[in-house]
Structure 1
């Protein structure tokens, strides 16, 4: 048993000796080469605040402005992160390194995507996708650094939650007063053809559903984290409004994701409180919670006709036009993967749009693979897909380890970790049947959740033995 535990710890990098690597790495020696300039710079005294402002601007503006402006802001954040890293004068903080196992797996995936770009049959198109991917990953690095501050972490989460509340309120307004469909989002032959699907400022109900998933998880966590009845009431209002708005998108992928999210959060809540529960509730609280939730869901399906019709359409196969479209796209994508299985065609929708027409079935144009897992296989092949799965395993493992650590001392910050894990599971669930995950409004939030988990990373005593004491 001990051997299996050791093997798992190595696979998940739970005891990675980061300081030993940093002391011998040529790459790490670049860190701090501008240290002397930093010590004399007045501006760099405000480094954390500047980084937080750059991150906050992205989340404040993302639902309302063009993707080009978001790209410019992320590029500014990437440049600032590079400046911080090259001028870093703090070195290794004992127990809390600035580079975590999550960072290493992100770097590995980026390296594989870089090779896939270099070997792509459409190199120029793939380079555009690679550039966007690089911006997202550098934005993750900046967020992971900024979110280490509990104060800034709380501020940035609060900023996003208030923006999401504005988005949700406008979505609910569309439900009550009507909204023109900007595209054919529902099978015109189905009973739901006249049903309003809200999309708020994002212009697409599926995109709105994905955007709201982290807001639902974080607002639920805020109910437990924020102090005072007024903040808690605000958090509860956010949770209800965001959840209602997501339901009214009538996004089937969003509904699947919401079930994943709430189920995961419920299980983590039971785990968190189990040490304080009597034996009976410790055993039966989770089954009772899941059973009662299933009963509520069943009753909703029986008595709410639009909900029932939309759920049943998931199982109608090719009879539903949306299902039929995705199935035909997946057939073509499978052929794309079969022809380039090792490293794929390169990252991004631009290269996908160049190559997909060669494989597509007549009349089934597509901008993506309509599944993030298929998209990963198309873009970076089985090598890139495997590295990304490794990243997910390491991230969830680190999240669980840090959640267990915080549970022992009952620190409220643990609820933010629950939200990050639950939101990631929800976004992955949505990604099974859609690729809105690749849009900036959602992708930035995905990397925010990963960065949130990385920001809690603390080296275990076993891997921290060689750290200096001063």
Structure 2
């Protein structure tokens, strides 16, 4: 086992750890005698899928408080299932271990925070998200439930996107100052649909674009495929019309990743010429479309050029000033940070902010993680991402060898991780429940594949209820 395999926990012996762990033996399955007589537990996976589905059905339309109550329900149900579980079925992956490690670091950061009560609020929210991840990772091992969850989210996202396009055609009142009043875009409609913020809407739609693109290949029948293509076009159009520069960066990273993975997947079936040249042709074609849009579509040109305007753009200038203040915060507490959550951030940031540059977050996910949990937490998060991508690609290779249709969803999940990280470099919308739940769903999706068996292709289970 080489150094890279050790770093990515490729061959970590989780089975041995489970059998030798006192904590695992003393918690998992202590109520399993109740399992056989309980109708509730016998339908545990289906009930968990319903609870998770409710989150993704309601998240764009309801308050964060209701989403929080659903997360509490998911956490409580996961605890019940774990206490009644059969030990051999309580499967863990390297992703689980690193998520647990990150939670442990956040817990220590909370205990060491200069504003402990505020940090505890953020720690509670993080814990709820991670409990949702644990429940989702359990049930997403099932191809049928996995396909059902993705289909649910795609149909809700389609509704959100359609309403966003309606705002573009009929107009929408800006709920905040999203663009520089002196910019040529000051009169341009930026759609926000039911989410109330175009940047948040862009973050919400990134996973929908990846899943709908792969649904074209994964769903069977011309009607489901036509529906998937419609979803893809509507979601992409709506995201573009948010005029969210961070969303556009995330979209570009996501599309490039999908193209690379898709060409890799299909290369076995391609003739030698297309095996070599299909990816360059696709990338050049995408780049040509992007250049033509910049040259001939004035709002797109103005928005793209504003990315490179430095402090000449008010949004850029605002973010730069916030980043500089956040870097000072990290410099003063580099090891464990100030504790998790925006409540702790709002208590400490005013001590560092430059005049007139108030902020609710660091406007960069990596800076946010560093300021909340220190460089230790940032290292753990980066480690988690590397392990997810490395082991996800390894599993994708196995699925490709068997031509297993489930590989399309895994490609989508890998592209979502890349796209959301690219968006997150310049924004922190994924801390909002509408986006954060999608991030942890994607992490759980990848973790679910790490325990899946791919010895035999089973495409029948990879289709969705829309067939």
TM-score range, shorter chain: over 0.9
Task: Determine the C-alpha separation between the residues in 2 that align with 1:424 and 1:241.
Answer: 21
TM superposition shift of 1:19: 1.1
- 1:165 paired with 2:161, answer no
Q: Which runs of 4+ in 1 moved over 2 A?
A: 458-461
Task: Determine the C-alpha separation between the residues in 2 that align with 1:43 and 1:355.
Answer: 46
SS in structure 1 of the partner of residue 185 of structure 2: coil
In structure 2, which of residues 29, 32, 43 is the aligned counterpart of residue 32 of structure 1? 29
In structure 1, which of residues 200, 206, 210 is the aligned counterpart of residue 199 of structure 2? 206
SS in structure 2 of the partner of residue 328 of structure 1: helix
1:23 is matched with which residue?
A: 19
- 1:13 paired with 2:6, answer no
TM superposition shift of 1:362: 0.2
1:466 is matched with which residue?
A: none
- 1:351 paired with 2:344, answer yes
- 1:86 paired with 2:83, answer yes
1:374 is matched with which residue?
A: 367
Contact 2:150 2:211 in 1 (8 A): yes
TM superposition shift of 1:459: 8.3
In structure 2, which of residues 289, 298, 313 is the aligned counterpart of residue 305 of structure 1? 298
In structure 1, which of residues 33, 52, 57 is the aligned counterpart of residue 54 of structure 2? 57
Task: Determine the C-alpha separation between the residues in 1 that align with 2:273 and 2:185.
Answer: 45
SS in structure 1 of the partner of residue 2 of structure 2: helix
Contact 1:62 1:440 in 2 (8 A): yes
Task: Determine the C-alpha separation between the residues in 2 that align with 1:42 and 1:419.
Answer: 35
TM superposition shift of 1:434: 0.4
TM superposition shift of 1:204: 0.1
Contact 1:15 1:459 in 2 (8 A): no
In structure 2, which of residues 170, 173, 178 is the aligned counterpart of residue 177 of structure 1? 170
Contact 2:389 2:414 in 1 (8 A): yes
SS in structure 1 of the partner of residue 334 of structure 2: coil
Question: Cα RMSD over matched residues?
Answer: 1.2
Contact 1:15 1:460 in 2 (8 A): no
SS in structure 2 of the partner of residue 366 of structure 1: coil
SS in structure 2 of the partner of residue 188 of structure 1: coil
TM-score computed with the length of structure 2 as normaliser: 0.96
1:467 is matched with which residue?
A: none
1:115 is matched with which residue?
A: 108
1:44 is matched with which residue?
A: 41
SS in structure 2 of the partner of residue 198 of structure 1: coil
- Residue by residue, what CA displacement relative to the aligned partner does 1:354-406 show, whole Å, maximum 9, x if unpaired? 00000000000000000000001100000000011110011111110111010
TM superposition shift of 1:458: 3.5
In structure 2, which of residues 144, 148, 151 is the aligned counterpart of residue 151 of structure 1? 144
Unmatched runs of 5 consecutive residues or more in structure 2:
455-467
Contact 2:91 2:451 in 1 (8 A): no
Unmatched runs of 5 consecutive residues or more in structure 1:
462-470
In structure 1, which of residues 446, 451, 458 is the aligned counterpart of residue 444 of structure 2? 451
1:434 is matched with which residue?
A: 427
Task: Determine the C-alpha separation between the residues in 1 that align with 2:450 and 2:114.
Answer: 39
Contact 2:141 2:452 in 1 (8 A): no
- Residue by residue, what CA displacement relative to the aligned partner does 1:244-295 show, whole Å, maximum 9, x if unpaired? 0000000000000000000000000011011222222222111111111111
